[in-house]
Structure 1
Amino acid sequence: MTSPTLVWIRRDLRLSDHAALAAAAARGGPVIPVFVRDDLVDDLGAAPKWRFGLGLECHAEALEGKDSRLILRSGDAREVIPALVQETGAGTVYWQRAYDPKSVARDKEVKAALKDAGVVAKSFAGHLMFEPWTVETKQGDYYKVYTPFWKSVRDRAVGEPLPAPSSLPAPDTWPDSEALEDWALGAAMNRGADVVRPFVQLGEQAAQSRLGAFMASKVADYDTTRDIPGIDGTSNLSENLALGEISPAQCWHAGQRAMQEGKAGAETFLKELVWREFAYHLMWHTPRILSDNWREDWAAFPWNEDERRAEVKAWKRGRTGIRFVDAALREMYVTGRMHNRGRMIVASYLTKHLMCHWKIGMAWFEDCLIDWDPASNAMGWQWSAGSGPDATPYFRVFNPVTQLDKFDKDRDYVSRWIAEEYANPHRDALAYFDAIPRSWSMSSSDTYPDPIVPPDEGRKRALSAYENRSF
């Protein structure tokens, strides 16, 4: 009989377009899906860890629908996976690749240990459309600018998504599994979990519905609506892509079909998918982007790194007195996501008007976003700060007041997320005060603050620092 195949589940919580799962099913013999809670999971911020737990629960239910199950184990994957091989008699282990440096180092060690033990170990693509090492300039180097990267991949063939396996044969005896509720992955969310939960679109089926609805009714106007935070004009798929509840290839082919149908915003949607690929391309080739200035000469820039400053606390709490900034930060605390235009304004204000290090903001997003993605988060912050690739020049400082006038003329966005200035606040604005820690001592009846740093003053300070830089 064919020995069992272990399928090591990671950020790929789906059944369709899952190369490792499909290969295991095609191989014959029992298929044993397993998820390992290791240090990389334990080190996640509050919101992404909570969302991961929800995703695992949903994926386990989907596997049960195939008469399978998800085995949960905790510990060092370097020890857990080989131990499961011994326990189950598995002769093969498959998984889909990760690209951050810690995962890469771990996976290499697991693969080496398995091969030394005579076990077949194979990794598959799936979290990306274009493996980072396959996209090169004519000089054989990696791309450092987005537009040439886009031009180099836009006409590349992307394989048709794989269907979900029709069946997943079970072993005669399932190995023991830990209980997901015992992991308490949502513990750090505290009371915020109940506030954010209604905004979650959970699992593969919800992700496919989200994609279908976007292509049917919103993608045609995506060029313009994606920049207006007061309307629902984006795909909102970042949450599902982050955990692999949908694959980028599935999104790509849907976008290609929409473009062939003449829907004007489809190409812009494809470009956004490739922007995500570009972030992973850079993380793979220059992993320092996760922890240090991508432009290394920016190490001397005089950013403030003291998170205890009153300005930083006001920024985190959505009390800067700058409406666009505060609305976006409150949106994140209530929904676990933030509109992309808001992300740019929030990041620009922290790093330029407040002169605070981008690492402070990156870490705050890492704790608060349910769609947190290591590559996209790091590149987004460095792009906004000026220290990253394709960076907005440091001297280009977003004015959050004029940006609000341009993209939220009727104040639909601000009125949805800020309660203090309104007699009958929006329910979502009020929900913010149910989500935040009680220790912040904030109330919807508080007086809305004056700007902690007015836009003109902050801009002058930022430009002065840039012009007098010593790098």
Structure 2
Amino acid sequence: MSGAPPVLVWFRRDLRLTDNPALAAAARQGRPIICLFVLDPETEAMGAAARWRLGQGLAVLAAQLQARGQCLILRRGDALTVLRAVLAETGATGLHWGRLYTPAEMARDRQIKAALRAEGVAVESHAGALLAEPWQVQTGAGGPYRVYTPFWRAIMAREVAAPLAAPAALPAPPNLPQSDSLAAWCLEAGVARGGDVLARHASVGEQAAADRLADFLRDGLARYDAARDFPAQDGTSGLSAYLALGEIGVRQVWHRVLRALHEGAPGAEPFLRQLVWREFAAHLMYHFPDLDRRAWRPDWDGFPWRGDNDDAEAWRRGETGEPLVDAAMRELYATGHMHNRARMVVASYLTKHLLTDWRVGLAWFADCLVDWDAASNAMGWQWVAGCGPDAAPYFRIFNPATQAAKFDPEGLYRRFWLEPGQPGAEAFHAAAPRSWQTGARAPRPQPVVGLAEGRARALAALERFKRG
């Protein structure tokens, strides 16, 4: 189609070439392709660590495209304004993107699609970020699933589309539009001196994601069910950050692990259940768009959680005096990750022992996680707090000491992050703001609340709430 007008592909949270339906659809047209990423207000609203990780991912994608004779065009501003400008500059007549499902993203995309189609642009959005579209998975009564187990069965009964191969050719137009400089965006600014520490723990890009999946299938899947709850072990897939930015597609992971399940691999079904939990969160946020702002169970809106407070600040800094909680919070700040078992423990401690609103914790995780996902973050916090879908009951209170004895029996995780001279402790002190005054030799703080006292206080609050 020599001389045909180009087509625009808007990359968002799908920083990959394989199983990228928007890119594949554009390539099938045989026209020159313009690859674009827009740093719009919705994207800039990401937390500091997630923005840092986005910058790393964009750099790798740009290099990947350059190796294929392409270029990643970067523009900053309102998405509709930017898209109109690039369409006008290039004469492109088509636009493709992969769907996203948070309320702000859907509102933005609906507005853009309506406006540009009215102006004669062929706009197409594509599935691919989830195993199934949220409107496709319904109960027998025709509504969304509100409980996980039947949702899991419904997903397992579906045929998940096979992943798409990367396009064989990605022709670029002879004249590409101007691009912003990624460095000028300063996406790393929010993490301050912690960026160098985060970089030590980051592996970035599509190839790194594929390698990590291969390693997990070869060495980790068989022991996944037994090892995944022990934070000192490398017992999880390590794919969450790649999935969050779409450096690997969820369908790619699903089909590789499903094949292992059919071949009888131990660990395959427990891992798929965790992958579907991520899916469940996304579907819930689609159907209940205030999942990250209001209790999913409306009667819990009146629970007497405290707002932000000094105890919550001690929690953020890893200075509660509870070793497992503090180790996990230090891991979070230094690496942008936290082991899932530890996430449940620190969330329970904040919302129950410290009686602090789950939204305080949600906001801190959103600022610190490199694998931040709006739906999973909201679902996880509401689940632990007891006010969410399919939630753990409020009176289930994780005891950090008991959890540590069970899942860190030799104290390896706690020592790594808390003991002076250990690599984790030194990394945390290097990353933490100087204002925290966390000197490596600083004495460990006394507990902000006794575990028995905190549990009794939480249960008393529950009883008063139920009576009121």
Calculate the TM-score normalised by the size of structure 1: 0.97
Describe how 1:12-411 pairs up with structure 2 within 5 A: 12-305=14-307, 307=308, 309-411=309-411
Identity of aligned residues (%): 52
Q: 3-state SS of the aligned residue for 2:465?
A: coil
Distance (whole Å) between structure 2 residues aligned to residue 129 and residue 392 of structure 1 = 25
In structure 2, the residue matched to 1:419 is 419
Distance (whole Å) between structure 2 residues aligned to residue 310 and residue 256 of structure 1 = 46
- 2:449 aligned with 1:453, yes or no? yes
Displacement of 1:229? 0.7
Describe how 1:422-437 pairs up with structure 2 within 5 A: 425-437=421-433
TM-superposition CA deviations, 1:265-319 (whole Å, max 9, x none) = 01111111100000000000001101111111111100001x2x22111100001
Displacement of 1:155? 2.5
Q: 3-state SS of the aligned residue for 2:378?
A: helix
TM-superposition CA deviations, 1:141-176 (whole Å, max 9, x none) = 101111110011113111221111111111020011
Displacement of 1:259? 1.2
- Give structure 1 regions of 4+ aligned residues with deviation exceeding 2 angstroms: none
Displacement of 1:252? 0.3
Give 1:374's aligned amino acid. Answer: A
Query: Is the Cα contact below 8 Å between 2:55 and 2:182 reproduced in 1?
Result: yes
Distance (whole Å) between structure 2 residues aligned to residue 457 and residue 254 of structure 1 = 47
Distance (whole Å) between structure 2 residues aligned to residue 381 and residue 389 of structure 1 = 11
In structure 1, the residue matched to 2:436 is 440
Displacement of 1:260? 2.2
Q: 3-state SS of the aligned residue for 2:291?
A: helix
Displacement of 1:203? 0.2
Displacement of 1:70? 0.6
- The runs of 5 or more residues in structure 1 that have no matched partner are none
Distance (whole Å) between structure 1 residues aligned to residue 450 and residue 266 of structure 2 = 38
Q: 3-state SS of the aligned residue for 2:325?
A: helix
Distance (whole Å) between structure 2 residues aligned to residue 252 and residue 19 of structure 1 = 16
Distance (whole Å) between structure 1 residues aligned to residue 198 and residue 79 of structure 2 = 31
Distance (whole Å) between structure 2 residues aligned to residue 366 and residue 299 of structure 1 = 21
Query: Is the Cα contact below 8 Å between 2:292 and 2:359 reproduced in 1?
Result: no
Displacement of 1:66? 1.1
Query: Is the Cα contact below 8 Å between 2:229 and 2:340 reproduced in 1?
Result: yes
Displacement of 1:187? 0.6
Give 2:106's aligned amino acid. Answer: V
Distance (whole Å) between structure 2 residues aligned to residue 454 and residue 247 of structure 1 = 44
Displacement of 1:2? 2.5
Instruction: Give the stretch that moved more between structures: 114-123 or 446-455.
Output: 446-455
Instruction: Give the stretch that moved more between structures: 78-87 or 12-21.
Output: 78-87
Query: Is the Cα contact below 8 Å between 2:324 and 2:414 reproduced in 1?
Result: yes
TM-superposition CA deviations, 1:417-460 (whole Å, max 9, x none) = 1125xxxx311211110000000111121111221111111110
Give the superposed CA RMSD. Answer: 0.9
Displacement of 1:100? 0.3
Distance (whole Å) between structure 1 residues aligned to residue 254 and residue 203 of structure 2 = 20
Instruction: Choose which of 455, 465, 468 in structure 2 pairs with 1:469.
Output: 465
Distance (whole Å) between structure 2 residues aligned to residue 145 and residue 454 of structure 1 = 34
Calculate the TM-score normalised by the size of structure 2: 0.98
Give 2:374's aligned amino acid. Answer: P
Distance (whole Å) between structure 2 residues aligned to residue 159 and residue 6 of structure 1 = 24
Instruction: Give the stretch that moved more between structures: 10-19 or 33-42.
Output: 33-42
- The runs of 5 or more residues in structure 2 that have no matched partner are none
TM-superposition CA deviations, 1:192-230 (whole Å, max 9, x none) = 000110111100000000000000011011111001111
Distance (whole Å) between structure 1 residues aligned to residue 43 and residue 114 of structure 2 = 22
Q: 3-state SS of the aligned residue for 2:318?
A: coil
Distance (whole Å) between structure 2 residues aligned to residue 269 and residue 463 of structure 1 = 33
